[in-house]
Amino acid sequence: MRRFLRIAVCCLIAACTTLTPRGRGLETIEHIIVIYAENRSFDHLYGLFPGAEGIAQATAEQKTQLDRDGTPMPHLPPVWKQGTREPDPRFPQQLLNEPFRLDAPPINLPPSLQIRNLVHRYYQNAEQIADGRNNKFAAISDAGGLVMGHYDGSQLPMWKVAREFVLADHFFMGALGGSFLNHLWLVCACTAHWPNAPADERAQVDERGRLKERPGSPASALTGPPQFLDGDISPDGYVVNTAQPAYQPSRYAPAPGGDARFADPAKHPLPPQTLKTIGDTLSAKRISWAWYAGAWNRALTDGMQPSAVKRSIIYSNRKGTISFQPHHHPFNYFARFAPGTPDRELHLKDAEEFFAGIDAGQLPQVSFYKPYGDLNEHPAYTDVLSGDEHIAGLIERIRRSALWPTVAVVVTYDENGGWWDHVPPPRGPGWSDRWGPGTRVPAIVVSPYAKRGYVDKAPYDTTSIIKLITRRFDLEPLSGVRPNAGDLTNAFDFSQPLSR
């Protein structure tokens, strides 16, 4: 009788759990999925997360914002309306000089409401970080005190996913600044070089490498946002802010009478790049992979229209539209994926194929997914909640699919979007270089083999994703990957049984 009971119990356990199908180790992971959201810092969304290094651990120096002259401000600057020196009436004029809740009185702006964009550019991010003190965010921003705003993320669906699986609380954006540069660092750990870039597109910097101010720029952040002699190209020809691709979809329409697949060369798009990417190293080992972009097919069609035709699919920032941002598609900048090439057709896909692949249990071994504007959480494009619900829905879809027993999903953000975070980016040999890392961003690892309810305090940056893929599939390492960045394997425990 006892033997029968033992067998029954074992059968019941086996019905609820499944052992790893290919042994115990990273080789168990057959599919890696990277979901890349937009423009939120760690403290902005997860600063109140239990067990994480959050706002409560910030020092007084990190929280107290300094004015342009280096003195503590008596209160935060006003929240400026986009592109103006006019205060936004939804915010108090003299907010305390410290972090504040956006979704609590007296402001009461929940994550379901869209909020203005904040400056998030290369030179500004470097100056905001202030050698790790993180106390120049408000002084350098064009949004004033808004940079110190954050949410109680406990009501967001991805917060619940993070509570169940792994939240990395020391994950930093790979490069200083904005989306374009950080998308490149996701796929190649590199910065595009354009030595013959137009002179009027170059930033003007002083002997310290900081942006020069425009004449008439306010001396104090309390009277207006600073005005800089900024540009998309560094003085020595590196593309540190957004440039447009030479291939459609691009914000530059085709040349009149020219090939509709290309941007008008007279508009000076970025010349196609030839640096080695993770796509190159995956293909060299015959590992299947694809970049899936929301609205890719529609944006291709829209981008090939003449400039006189309204191209709202590509660049509209109106909520409720299908907005595609060309600078969010890094592989479209590389010569290997030029229009008409086999690699373009094989690897650059529409998001609908990604969704269908999940449902069919048939994805490439490595998948990158980029939501379009309404679903990527970018301020001014959309709100937080819409994208958070979308990504959480995808996680649930993957968990219900045949992929689940062999999958690892990494959800992270390209960059901080200009929002304050208190943890200084890692610096020193093997970590820092001219390009970064930049500000801390959220990262969540979801897998049947992810540790459960775990806050991972190992140090990572965007290049850690490249490291994970490289290690799992034994690829050629990319030279720009930072030696001291972790490879995310600390987030896994392959000794535990598989469960949904």
Tell whether 3 is covered by a domain.
Answer: no
Q: How confident is the model at residue 321 (pLDDT cuts 50, 70, 90)?
A: low
In a domain, 379, yes or no: yes
- Would residue 157 count as lying in a domain? yes
Residue 6 in this model has a pLDDT that exceeds 50: no
> For the residues 343-367, what does the mean pLDDT come to?
98
355 found inside a domain: yes
Radius of gyration, alpha carbons of the chain: 23
Q: Predicted confidence band at 246 (pLDDT cuts at 50, 70, 90)?
A: very high
- Residue 18 falls within a domain, yes or no? no
Q: Please state, for a pLDDT cut of 70, what percent of the chain lies above it.
A: 92
> Which is more confident, 415 or 85?
415
Q: Could you read off the pLDDT of 15-49 as tens digits, one per residue? A: 333 333 334 699 999 999 999 999 999 999 999 99
* Structural domain of 434: 31-491
pLDDT of residue 323: 87
End-to-end CA distance of the chain: 32
Determine phi and psi for 27, rounding to 5 degrees.
-65, -15
Of 497, 499, 500, 491, nearest to 26 (Cα)?
A: 491
Q: Is the predicted pLDDT of residue 390 greater than 80, yes or no?
A: yes
Q: What CATH number did the domain enclosing 405 receive?
A: 3.40.720.10
Has residue 14 been placed in a domain? no
Task: Give the Cα separation of 392 and 414 in Å (integer).
Answer: 17
Note whether residue 25 is domain-resident: no
Q: 487 and 464 in contact (C-beta within 8 Å)?
A: yes
- In the predicted model, what is the mean pLDDT of residues 485-500? 86
Statement: residue 334 has pLDDT above 60: yes
Helix H, strand E, coil C: the string for 414-456 is CCCCCCCCCCCCCCCCCCCECCECCCECCEEEECCCECCCEEE
pLDDT, tens only, 456-484: 999 999 999 999 999 999 999 999 999 99
Tokens representing residue 193 in the block: 């070089």
Q: So what's the pLDDT on residue 313?
A: 72
Q: What is the mean pLDDT of residues 321-331?
A: 91
| 4 assigned to some structural domain | no
What is the structure's pLDDT at 159?
A: 98
Q: Which two tokens stand for residue 41?
A: 């810092």
Q: For residue range 404-426, what is the model confidence (pLDDT) as tens digits?
A: 999 999 999 999 999 999 999 99
Structural domain count, the chain = 1
Instruction: Indicate the burial class of 106 (C-beta count within 10 angstroms; 0-12, 13-18, 19 or more).
Output: exposed
The per-residue DSSP string of 19-59 comes to: --BTBSSGGG--EEEEEEE-S--HHHHHTT-TTS--GGG--
Q: What is the pLDDT of residue 319?
A: 56
Name the average pLDDT for the chain. 92
Spatial distance between the Cα atoms of 269 and 287, rounded to a whole number of angstroms: 31
Sign of CA dihedral 122, 127, 132, 137: negative
Mean pLDDT, range 96-118, rounded to an integer: 96
